[in-house]
Amino acid sequence: MDSRFFSKFFKQLLGVSILILSQSTFLHAQKLSLGVKGGPLALWSAYGDKDDRQEFDSKPKLGYSVSGIIGFPLKKKYACIFEGGYSQRGRKVIFNNGFSQNNATYRFTDFSLLLQRSFSFNLSKNIVADWYFSIGPQISYWLNGDGVVGSVDNEGQAYTIVFDEAFTGLIDNKMYLNDVNRWLFGLNFGLGMQAPLGGARKLNVELRFISGHTYFGERNSASYSWQNFEDNLRSNEKILSLTAAYVINVDLKDRKQGRSTKDKEVKRKPVKKRKR
Protein backbone atom coordinates (compact mmCIF):
# COMPACT_ATOMS: atom_id res chain seq x y z
CA MET A 1 0.00 0.00 0.00
CA ASP A 2 1.11 3.59 -0.58
CA SER A 3 3.40 4.89 2.18
CA ARG A 4 1.89 8.36 1.77
CA PHE A 5 -1.46 7.00 2.97
CA PHE A 6 0.07 5.63 6.16
CA SER A 7 2.08 8.81 6.69
CA LYS A 8 -1.16 10.80 6.58
CA PHE A 9 -2.90 8.22 8.77
CA PHE A 10 -0.11 8.33 11.36
CA LYS A 11 -0.17 12.14 11.52
CA GLN A 12 -3.95 12.18 11.90
CA LEU A 13 -3.88 9.56 14.65
CA LEU A 14 -1.10 11.45 16.42
CA GLY A 15 -3.18 14.64 16.32
CA VAL A 16 -6.27 12.86 17.65
CA SER A 17 -4.24 11.25 20.45
CA ILE A 18 -2.77 14.58 21.51
CA LEU A 19 -6.25 16.08 21.54
CA ILE A 20 -7.53 13.23 23.72
CA LEU A 21 -4.58 13.59 26.07
CA SER A 22 -5.11 17.33 26.42
CA GLN A 23 -8.71 16.75 27.48
CA SER A 24 -8.00 13.84 29.83
CA THR A 25 -7.54 13.94 33.56
CA PHE A 26 -3.87 12.94 33.46
CA LEU A 27 -2.86 16.51 32.67
CA HIS A 28 -4.42 17.63 35.95
CA ALA A 29 -2.99 14.75 37.98
CA GLN A 30 0.31 14.89 36.02
CA LYS A 31 0.75 11.11 36.12
CA LEU A 32 2.87 9.14 33.68
CA SER A 33 4.93 5.98 33.38
CA LEU A 34 8.52 5.63 32.17
CA GLY A 35 10.25 2.45 31.11
CA VAL A 36 12.65 0.54 28.91
CA LYS A 37 11.91 -2.61 26.95
CA GLY A 38 13.63 -5.11 24.73
CA GLY A 39 13.50 -8.61 23.36
CA PRO A 40 13.83 -10.93 20.35
CA LEU A 41 11.74 -10.86 17.22
CA ALA A 42 11.11 -13.08 14.20
CA LEU A 43 10.02 -11.74 10.83
CA TRP A 44 9.49 -12.73 7.24
CA SER A 45 8.91 -10.95 3.93
CA ALA A 46 5.47 -10.95 2.36
CA TYR A 47 5.16 -10.48 -1.40
CA GLY A 48 1.99 -8.88 -2.68
CA ASP A 49 2.04 -10.38 -6.18
CA LYS A 50 1.38 -14.02 -6.97
CA ASP A 51 4.22 -14.20 -9.51
CA ASP A 52 6.69 -12.82 -6.95
CA ARG A 53 5.60 -15.36 -4.35
CA GLN A 54 6.24 -18.17 -6.82
CA GLU A 55 9.71 -16.93 -7.67
CA PHE A 56 10.87 -15.86 -4.19
CA ASP A 57 10.50 -17.96 -1.05
CA SER A 58 10.74 -16.01 2.20
CA LYS A 59 12.25 -17.70 5.27
CA PRO A 60 12.03 -16.52 8.92
CA LYS A 61 14.68 -14.04 10.00
CA LEU A 62 15.63 -13.41 13.65
CA GLY A 63 16.37 -10.01 15.16
CA TYR A 64 15.85 -7.89 18.25
CA SER A 65 14.52 -4.53 19.42
CA VAL A 66 15.16 -2.10 22.29
CA SER A 67 13.19 1.04 23.07
CA GLY A 68 12.10 3.58 25.65
CA ILE A 69 8.50 3.98 26.82
CA ILE A 70 6.43 6.95 27.95
CA GLY A 71 2.84 6.19 28.99
CA PHE A 72 -0.03 8.48 29.93
CA PRO A 73 -3.09 7.07 31.74
CA LEU A 74 -6.50 7.98 30.40
CA LYS A 75 -9.97 7.28 31.79
CA LYS A 76 -11.54 3.81 32.18
CA LYS A 77 -8.27 1.81 32.21
CA TYR A 78 -7.10 3.26 28.88
CA ALA A 79 -3.61 4.59 28.29
CA CYS A 80 -1.68 6.29 25.50
CA ILE A 81 1.80 4.83 24.96
CA PHE A 82 4.69 6.39 23.04
CA GLU A 83 7.68 4.18 22.14
CA GLY A 84 10.94 5.05 20.43
CA GLY A 85 13.98 2.88 19.88
CA TYR A 86 16.16 0.73 17.66
CA SER A 87 15.68 -2.62 15.97
CA GLN A 88 17.69 -5.07 13.89
CA ARG A 89 15.56 -6.85 11.31
CA GLY A 90 16.02 -7.98 7.71
CA ARG A 91 15.07 -10.49 5.02
CA LYS A 92 16.02 -14.06 4.19
CA VAL A 93 14.92 -14.89 0.64
CA ILE A 94 15.46 -18.03 -1.46
CA PHE A 95 15.32 -17.64 -5.28
CA ASN A 96 16.69 -19.05 -8.56
CA ASN A 97 14.60 -22.22 -8.11
CA GLY A 98 15.94 -22.74 -4.62
CA PHE A 99 19.64 -22.55 -5.50
CA SER A 100 20.41 -18.97 -4.31
CA GLN A 101 19.65 -16.93 -1.23
CA ASN A 102 19.95 -13.39 0.06
CA ASN A 103 20.34 -13.17 3.85
CA ALA A 104 20.09 -9.44 4.58
CA THR A 105 20.30 -7.63 7.92
CA TYR A 106 18.66 -4.19 8.20
CA ARG A 107 18.80 -1.69 11.05
CA PHE A 108 16.03 0.78 11.88
CA THR A 109 14.99 3.46 14.30
CA ASP A 110 11.35 2.94 15.29
CA PHE A 111 8.50 5.03 16.70
CA SER A 112 5.11 3.74 17.83
CA LEU A 113 1.92 5.34 19.11
CA LEU A 114 -0.40 2.92 20.91
CA LEU A 115 -3.79 2.97 22.54
CA GLN A 116 -3.83 0.47 25.41
CA ARG A 117 -6.77 -1.04 27.32
CA SER A 118 -6.14 -2.87 30.62
CA PHE A 119 -8.14 -5.38 32.65
CA SER A 120 -7.29 -6.25 36.26
CA PHE A 121 -7.14 -9.79 37.66
CA ASN A 122 -5.78 -11.53 40.77
CA LEU A 123 -2.35 -12.92 40.00
CA SER A 124 -2.31 -14.46 43.47
CA LYS A 125 -4.23 -13.98 46.71
CA ASN A 126 -2.69 -10.59 47.53
CA ILE A 127 -1.33 -9.52 44.16
CA VAL A 128 -3.44 -7.70 41.57
CA ALA A 129 -2.04 -7.59 38.01
CA ASP A 130 -3.32 -6.40 34.64
CA TRP A 131 -3.53 -7.95 31.24
CA TYR A 132 -3.89 -5.58 28.31
CA PHE A 133 -4.15 -5.29 24.58
CA SER A 134 -2.82 -2.44 22.46
CA ILE A 135 -3.14 -1.21 18.91
CA GLY A 136 -1.55 1.61 16.96
CA PRO A 137 0.72 2.62 14.08
CA GLN A 138 4.47 2.21 13.81
CA ILE A 139 6.89 4.14 11.64
CA SER A 140 10.47 2.95 11.00
CA TYR A 141 13.37 4.69 9.31
CA TRP A 142 15.82 2.42 7.47
CA LEU A 143 19.30 3.35 8.71
CA ASN A 144 21.66 0.90 6.99
CA GLY A 145 22.26 -2.77 6.37
CA ASP A 146 24.46 -5.56 5.09
CA GLY A 147 24.12 -9.19 4.14
CA VAL A 148 25.36 -12.26 2.35
CA VAL A 149 24.26 -13.40 -1.11
CA GLY A 150 25.10 -16.58 -2.96
CA SER A 151 24.34 -20.26 -3.18
CA VAL A 152 22.34 -21.87 -0.35
CA ASP A 153 25.09 -24.52 -0.08
CA ASN A 154 27.98 -22.17 0.73
CA GLU A 155 28.75 -19.09 2.81
CA GLY A 156 28.26 -16.69 -0.11
CA GLN A 157 29.61 -13.19 -0.64
CA ALA A 158 29.23 -10.45 1.97
CA TYR A 159 28.03 -6.99 0.95
CA THR A 160 27.20 -3.58 2.43
CA ILE A 161 24.08 -1.62 1.50
CA VAL A 162 24.47 1.76 -0.23
CA PHE A 163 21.44 4.00 -0.70
CA ASP A 164 20.74 6.25 -3.69
CA GLU A 165 24.02 5.84 -5.52
CA ALA A 166 24.55 4.80 -9.14
CA PHE A 167 25.63 1.21 -9.70
CA THR A 168 29.28 1.28 -10.81
CA GLY A 169 29.32 -2.18 -12.39
CA LEU A 170 32.48 -3.01 -10.47
CA ILE A 171 32.92 -5.86 -8.04
CA ASP A 172 33.04 -3.76 -4.86
CA ASN A 173 30.91 -5.89 -2.52
CA LYS A 174 28.19 -3.26 -2.30
CA MET A 175 24.45 -3.60 -2.75
CA TYR A 176 23.13 -0.48 -4.49
CA LEU A 177 19.55 0.30 -3.49
CA ASN A 178 17.71 2.96 -5.45
CA ASP A 179 14.07 4.06 -5.36
CA VAL A 180 13.54 2.34 -2.02
CA ASN A 181 11.22 3.35 0.81
CA ARG A 182 13.37 4.21 3.81
CA TRP A 183 10.25 5.25 5.75
CA LEU A 184 8.26 2.10 6.49
CA PHE A 185 4.79 2.12 8.03
CA GLY A 186 3.00 -0.67 9.88
CA LEU A 187 0.30 -1.47 12.40
CA ASN A 188 0.90 -2.92 15.90
CA PHE A 189 -1.32 -5.48 17.66
CA GLY A 190 -0.15 -6.36 21.18
CA LEU A 191 -1.27 -8.61 24.02
CA GLY A 192 0.54 -8.43 27.34
CA MET A 193 0.54 -8.62 31.11
CA GLN A 194 1.71 -6.12 33.74
CA ALA A 195 2.73 -7.41 37.17
CA PRO A 196 3.71 -5.31 40.21
CA LEU A 197 7.30 -5.43 41.49
CA GLY A 198 6.71 -3.34 44.60
CA GLY A 199 6.14 0.35 45.04
CA ALA A 200 5.65 2.14 41.73
CA ARG A 201 7.60 -0.45 39.71
CA LYS A 202 6.00 -2.77 37.17
CA LEU A 203 7.11 -5.60 34.89
CA ASN A 204 5.48 -5.86 31.47
CA VAL A 205 5.65 -8.91 29.19
CA GLU A 206 4.11 -8.47 25.73
CA LEU A 207 3.61 -10.51 22.59
CA ARG A 208 3.19 -8.24 19.57
CA PHE A 209 2.44 -8.67 15.89
CA ILE A 210 3.45 -5.89 13.50
CA SER A 211 1.97 -5.92 10.02
CA GLY A 212 4.12 -3.91 7.63
CA HIS A 213 2.25 -2.07 4.87
CA THR A 214 5.07 -0.42 2.94
CA TYR A 215 7.14 -2.22 0.31
CA PHE A 216 10.91 -1.99 0.72
CA GLY A 217 11.16 -0.99 -2.92
CA GLU A 218 10.46 -2.31 -6.42
CA ARG A 219 11.47 -5.41 -8.38
CA ASN A 220 14.52 -3.68 -9.88
CA SER A 221 15.55 -1.54 -6.86
CA ALA A 222 18.61 -3.66 -6.00
CA SER A 223 21.84 -3.81 -8.03
CA TYR A 224 24.87 -5.96 -7.24
CA SER A 225 28.10 -6.78 -9.06
CA TRP A 226 27.21 -10.48 -9.37
CA GLN A 227 25.52 -11.04 -12.73
CA ASN A 228 23.50 -14.02 -11.49
CA PHE A 229 21.98 -12.10 -8.60
CA GLU A 230 18.32 -11.16 -8.81
CA ASP A 231 16.53 -9.65 -5.85
CA ASN A 232 13.03 -8.27 -5.47
CA LEU A 233 12.26 -5.58 -2.89
CA ARG A 234 8.55 -5.44 -3.71
CA SER A 235 7.68 -6.95 -0.34
CA ASN A 236 6.79 -5.79 3.15
CA GLU A 237 7.52 -7.36 6.51
CA LYS A 238 5.50 -9.24 9.11
CA ILE A 239 7.02 -9.22 12.61
CA LEU A 240 6.33 -11.24 15.74
CA SER A 241 8.11 -9.94 18.87
CA LEU A 242 8.31 -10.89 22.54
CA THR A 243 9.48 -8.14 24.88
CA ALA A 244 9.95 -7.51 28.58
CA ALA A 245 9.71 -3.98 30.00
CA TYR A 246 10.68 -2.39 33.31
CA VAL A 247 8.24 0.44 34.07
CA ILE A 248 8.04 3.03 36.86
CA ASN A 249 4.87 5.03 37.55
CA VAL A 250 5.56 8.69 38.30
CA ASP A 251 3.23 11.28 39.87
CA LEU A 252 4.72 14.72 39.20
CA LYS A 253 2.09 16.43 41.34
CA ASP A 254 3.13 14.52 44.45
CA ARG A 255 6.79 15.28 43.81
CA LYS A 256 6.09 18.99 43.45
CA GLN A 257 4.04 18.98 46.65
CA GLY A 258 6.83 17.17 48.46
CA ARG A 259 9.43 19.72 47.41
CA SER A 260 7.09 22.59 48.29
CA THR A 261 6.54 21.18 51.79
CA LYS A 262 10.27 20.77 52.36
CA ASP A 263 10.93 24.33 51.19
CA LYS A 264 8.37 25.67 53.64
CA GLU A 265 9.90 23.67 56.49
CA VAL A 266 13.31 25.11 55.70
CA LYS A 267 11.93 28.67 55.61
CA ARG A 268 10.04 28.22 58.88
CA LYS A 269 12.95 26.63 60.70
CA PRO A 270 14.07 29.11 63.45
CA VAL A 271 17.58 30.39 63.38
CA LYS A 272 19.53 29.60 66.54
CA LYS A 273 21.29 32.54 68.14
CA ARG A 274 24.95 32.17 68.93
CA LYS A 275 25.98 32.49 72.54
CA ARG A 276 28.47 35.21 73.34
Q: Which residues have a Cβ under 8 Å from the Cβ of 143 and sit 6 or more positions away?
A: 106, 107, 108, 109
For 81-103, write each residue's pLDDT tens digit.
999 999 999 999 988 888 888 89
- Whether residue 220 is predicted with pLDDT greater than 90 in this model: the reply is no
Average pLDDT score over residue span 117-133: 88
Q: How far apart are CA 242 and CA 135, in angstroms?
A: 15
Contacts of 122 (CB under 8 A, 6+ apart): 128, 129
Averaged pLDDT, 220-236: 77
pLDDT of residue 7 exceeding 70, the answer is: no
Quick one: which H or E segment has residue 12?
A: helix 3-23
Closest by CA to 209, choosing from 259, 243, 176, is 243
- Cα–Cα–Cα angle for 59, 245, 65, rounded to 5 degrees: 30
pLDDT greater than 70 at residue 27: no
Whole-number mean pLDDT of the chain? 83
Choice between 19 and 171, residue whose per-residue pLDDT is larger: 171
Task: Return d(Cα 257, Cα 200) in angstroms, integer.
Answer: 18
